[in-house]
């Protein structure tokens, strides 16, 4: 029997099932919110049920209580490479319902758009990768190993993907396709992110006798100035990345003192920083520079300084000539009938952890607008979900058949 043509292969894709399942996922609010007890559990269960319906044996790893990763490993008829498709089951909160023109968990399709929180980020992409894998299996074209990862906590600390890598699921993989919404762009680079908290401890005093204590607020101002000057310096040194734009260092949280006692200098002043980098930036050097400067400022002001690295996600990039990119390019051309646009991910995805902890090449490609994620009135075009599943299907066949 000869291998099926691309069109024959695409015939195995259950497009109606794909859209029904996307709707089902969107109708399950899977915000992780300890205050309400909401978790990814419902969405994870929907994935488990679908997988079992396909005759697959999903692995359920409870990363935190009530918050399971769902992992499916499909093995083909003959040995071959190992490819990973990655998605997440959590969604961000819908925020104020007043901002929405429809029920945030509607899942309805209106004028070709599937509506609701998580439709683009990223239940459409998650459903697309699962149905693409099913089609590949049904066609008899599955060789090697295909790992499908539906992980928790992407929107926060990425606990799901960290656990996924730590448990060895990425071993010997040739790379990962991260199915986040990028408007059909093939994203070959992603910004890195560092989250730092700087704490300066002084000594409390009466506002009328400030010299009797050590006020940490002026010291913290020096740290803010340093951060701003460092941002300008890095922007000057590295310029703008053509796909990612400029490096940024943004203070996002300030805490010191209390409005209840305006006549007291605080004992501690805290600033949090969100640093976004491009592949040229050395994270370790940047973090060291912060630690050294906070040390100098603390010493000069009599404070005690602390720098906590809350998270450190490196930027990623991959050559346009890499197999992952070439296969997606060919598949995109075939399905969409046009040349793809190559792009960069302005935020960070689980892909940064796959790259950092498992050293995998990653590419980000998925249905839904880049900028619609996390906004009110989120939607995904039904045609984009179907197109993404087709592209995943063709690309996966090529990657698994090519060999490493
Ligand atoms: Zn996402």
Measured in Å, residue 147 CA sits from the centre of ligand 1 at: 19
Domain that holds residue 365: 6-190+315-402
Measured in Å, residue 86 CA sits from the centre of ligand 1 at: 10
Would you tell me how many other CB atoms lie within 10 Å of the CB of residue 334?
15
Measured in Å, residue 291 CA sits from the centre of ligand 1 at: 31
Shared domain check, 59 and 105: yes
Which residue, chain included where needed, has tokens 């906070």? 294
Measured in Å, residue 293 CA sits from the centre of ligand 1 at: 34
Shared domain check, 211 and 153: no
Measured in Å, residue 255 CA sits from the centre of ligand 1 at: 29
Collapse the DSSP code of 12 into the 3-class scheme (helix H, G, I; strand E, B; otherwise coil) and give the result.
Answer: coil
Query: How confident is the model over 295-334, as pLDDT tens digits?
Result: 999 999 999 999 999 999 999 999 999 999 999 999 999 9
| Overall number of domains in the chain | 2
> Quick check: is 96 in a domain?
yes
Shared domain check, 324 and 272: no
Structure tokens at 103: 């029920």
Shared domain check, 326 and 272: no
Measured in Å, residue 124 CA sits from the centre of ligand 1 at: 11
Measured in Å, residue 126 CA sits from the centre of ligand 1 at: 10
Closest by CA to 395, choosing from 316, 332, 339, is 332
pLDDT at 404: 46
Measured in Å, residue 11 CA sits from the centre of ligand 1 at: 29
Shared domain check, 203 and 150: no
Measured in Å, residue 370 CA sits from the centre of ligand 1 at: 10
> Quick check: is 1 in a domain?
no
Average pLDDT, integer, range 394-401: 96
Measured in Å, residue 90 CA sits from the centre of ligand 1 at: 8
Measured in Å, residue 180 CA sits from the centre of ligand 1 at: 5
Whole-angstrom distance, CA of residue 347 vs CA of residue 358: 20
Measured in Å, residue 354 CA sits from the centre of ligand 1 at: 15
Query: How confident is the model over 122-145, as pLDDT tens digits?
Result: 999 999 999 999 999 999 999 999
Measured in Å, residue 125 CA sits from the centre of ligand 1 at: 9
Shared domain check, 284 and 153: no
Q: Of 256, 285, 313, which closes a domain?
A: 313
Q: Where are the alpha helices (DSSP H) in 64-123?
A: none
Q: Of 283, 313, 343, which closes a domain?
A: 313
Shared domain check, 169 and 110: yes
> Quick check: is 81 in a domain?
yes
> Quick check: is 252 in a domain?
yes
Query: How confident is the model over 216-263, as pLDDT tens digits?
Result: 999 999 999 999 999 999 999 999 999 999 999 999 999 999 888 899
323-336 vs 382-402: helix axis angle to the nearest 10? 140
Q: Of 313, 339, 366, which closes a domain?
A: 313
């Amino acid at each position: 029997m000869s291998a099926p043509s691309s069109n024959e292969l695409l015939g195995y894709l259950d497009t109606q099932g794909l859209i029904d399942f996307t709707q089902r996922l969107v109708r399950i609010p899977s915000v992780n919110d300890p205050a309400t007890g909401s978790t990814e559990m419902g969405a994870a269960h929907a994935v488990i049920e679908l997988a079992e319906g396909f005759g697959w044996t999903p692995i359920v790893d409870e990363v935190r209580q009530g918050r399971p990763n769902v992992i499916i490993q499909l093995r083909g008829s003959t040995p071959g490479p190992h490819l990973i498709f990655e998605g997440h089951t959590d969604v961000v909160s819908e925020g104020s319902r007043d901002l929405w023109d429809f029920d945030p968990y509607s899942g309805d399709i209106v004028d070709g758009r599937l509506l609701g929180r998580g439709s683009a980020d990223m239940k459409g992409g998650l459903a697309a990768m699962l149905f693409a894998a099913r089609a590949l299996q049904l066609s008899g074209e599955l060789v090697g190993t295909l790992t499908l990862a539906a992980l928790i906590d992407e929107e926060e600390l990425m606990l799901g993907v960290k656990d996924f890598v730590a448990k060895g699921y990425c071993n010997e993989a040739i790379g990962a396709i991260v199915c986040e919404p990028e408007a059909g762009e093939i994203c070959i680079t992603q910004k890195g992110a560092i989250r730092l908290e700087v704490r300066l401890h002084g000594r409390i005093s009466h506002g009328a006798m400030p010299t009797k204590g050590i006020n940490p607020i002026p010291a913290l101002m020096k740290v803010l100035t340093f951060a701003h000057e460092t941002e300008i310096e890095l922007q000057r040194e590295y310029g703008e990345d053509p796909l990612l734009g400029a490096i940024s260092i943004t203070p996002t949280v300030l805490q010191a003192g209390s409005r209840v006692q305006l006549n007291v200098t605080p004992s501690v002043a805290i600033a949090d920083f969100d640093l976004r980098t491009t592949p040229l930036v050395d994270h370790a050097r940047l973090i060291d520079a912060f630690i050294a400067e906070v040390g100098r400022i603390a010493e000069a002001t009599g404070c005690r300084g602390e720098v906590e690295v809350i998270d450190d996600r490196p930027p990623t990039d991959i050559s346009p000539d890499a197999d992952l990119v070439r296969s997606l390019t060919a598949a995109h051309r075939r399905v969409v009938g046009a040349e793809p646009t190559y792009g960069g991910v302005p935020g960070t995805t689980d892909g940064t952890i796959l790259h950092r902890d498992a050293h995998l090449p990653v590419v980000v490609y998925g249905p839904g607008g880049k900028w619609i994620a996390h906004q009110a009135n989120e939607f995904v075009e039904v045609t984009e979900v179907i197109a993404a599943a087709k592209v995943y299907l063709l690309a996966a066949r090529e990657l698994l058949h090519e060999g490493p």
